[in-house]
Structure 1
C-alpha cells in the first residue's frame, strides 16, 4: 500500500504573494507526499512579480501560478483538503467557506511583504524574509509524522509552527 498524499491549501486575502510562495515551496519540497494549492478571499488577479523573482532565485518553479478565489475549493468536485493554513491576518479573521472533510487548520500569519515601502532592494528583502519564514514553517510541517499523529496533537503542532520566528501579532496569539 502506498503512503497517502495530503492536500494542503494556503489562504491569503489577495492570493498574490505569501500564499503563492507557500504553494510553490510545498509543491517542490513535498512532491510525492503533498498536493499544494493557494487561494484568496478577495483575489487580486495578479501574482506579485517580486514573489516570482524570489521563488526563481531559490530554484522554485513559477510557471503556472495565478490569483484565484477560495470559493473554487469549496465547490463540488474540488479536491478535498486535509490541511488549510491562513498566511495573512486578514484572511484568518474572515469567515471561510466550510471545507469538505473538515481539514486541520492553523494560522501561520506573517507580515505582508507587499506592504513594505522603500527601495526595490528593501521591498525584495521583505519578500526574501517572507519566503524564509514560510519555508521554515513548511519544513517543520513536512517533518511531522502525519500518518501517526492524533488530531489534538496535530492541532498543537500546527499552532506552534504558526508561532515560529516572523509570526504576525495574530499568529503569536
Structure 2
C-alpha cells in the first residue's frame, strides 16, 4: 500500500481546512510536514496578512536603508572618515558597506581579538585612505578579521588623493 500524497490539514491558527499535495516530499516525511502545517496559518490567510501590512516590503526596506544610512553618516562624522568617490548611486551604498565592515572589523580585532588602540589607530589611517565607494561595496561580505589584508591589497585607484586638482 502506497503512502498517501494528499493530506487534508486543518490549520489551527485560522481554522481553515486545506488539501495539500505533498507528493514532492519523501514518503517518510509527509506526515510530519502535514503536522507542522497544521500549526501554521493557511496560505490564503498568510498572504492576506502580508498584504495588510501598514509597511509593504519596499517601504520597510526603504526605512531600514534610511536608518542604516543615518548610522553610517553619524559614524563617518564621529570618526572623521572622508567622503567616498564614485558614481552617485554607489555613494550611499559604499558608505553603509564601509560602516558595517569597519565596525565588524573593530569587534573582531579589538573587542574580541588581541589588538590594542595603537594597532587600531594605524588601521584607521588605512581605512581613511580608501575612498572609492566601489571598493567598499566589493568587500561588503568580507570577514572583519580580513580587513587589514584587504586594505593592504587595495590598489592606487582605490585610494584617494590629497591633490584636489588631480
Give the TM-score of the pair, scaled to structure 1: 0.28
Q: Which has the larger radius of gyration?
A: 2
Normalising by structure 2, we get a TM-score of 0.29
* Higher normalized contact order (CA 8 Å, seq sep 6+, divided by chain length): 1
Give the structure with the higher percent helix.
2
Structure (1 or 2) with the greater strand fraction: 1
